[in-house]
Amino acid sequence: MLFGTVTCFKTGTCWFGQPASLGVWESNHYLITTCALYRLAITHLQDVYDHNYLAADFQAINGSCRDVHMIITTELAKFNISSRFFRLAREEIALANIMVDLIYDPASYTHFDNEEFENGSKFVMMQLRAAQSSLARREWQYARMAIGFMLHSMQDFYSHSNWIELGMREPNRDLAMGRRLGSTANK
């Protein structure tokens, strides 16, 4: 669980404050996750509240995710919805994402290193199931932690494989299924 500046995980491991080895805003995983969650929030506000101008606002600031928070905060305030919860939930997911490097290192399967495609896919599937199970039990913080872990591995799949270079323009649907991810070279 993530509580403010104290980070505690189910394993019993705790960190107080931000780990010295991780500059949060310098972490690619943190930024990618934060931007993706902002994009999801904007999509949700567009779909549920018919605020289609938000996509233009997002593009106008050139995708600078530090500035998007104010756009979302302003929109939530219009509906008397506190942005505090969104900020905390986003932070929990993003911090869990970067903690994969500390908790699971050197487990190459969590990063899809060394052609660990099958085990990496199983890890993603395990985190997806953990998130779903936590949601069913209304254990929101555990769900967000599992989502953060899952997103880290998914981000690594796309950055450590040649999926994009092979011309694939859609997400790999097998990624969270725990099965073979498509063509791979023989070892």
HEC-encoded secondary structure of the chain: CEECCEEECCCCCEEECCCCCCCHHHCHHHHHHHHHHHHHHHHHHHHHHCCCHHHHHHHHCCCCHHHHHHHHHHHHHHCCCCHHHHHHHHHHHHHHHHHHHHHCCCCHHHHCHHHCHHHHHHHHHHHHHHHHHHHHCCCHHHHHHHHHHHHHHHHHHHHHCCCCCCCCCCCCCCCCCCCCCCCCCCC
Range from 49-58, 112-121, 128-137, 163-172 that averages highest in pLDDT: 128-137
State the pLDDT at residue 2.
37
Mean pLDDT of 135-164: 94
More confident residue, 171 or 126: 126
Comparing 33-37, 92-96, 139-143, which segment has the lowest mean pLDDT? 33-37
For residues 123 and 169, the model is more confident at 123
Q: Where are the domains of the chain?
A: 24-96, 104-187
Is 1 or 105 the better-scoring residue by pLDDT? 105
- Region 130-145: what's the mean pLDDT? 97
pLDDT value for 39: 82
Share of the chain above pLDDT 90, in %: 31
Confidence of residue 58 (pLDDT cuts 50, 70, 90): low
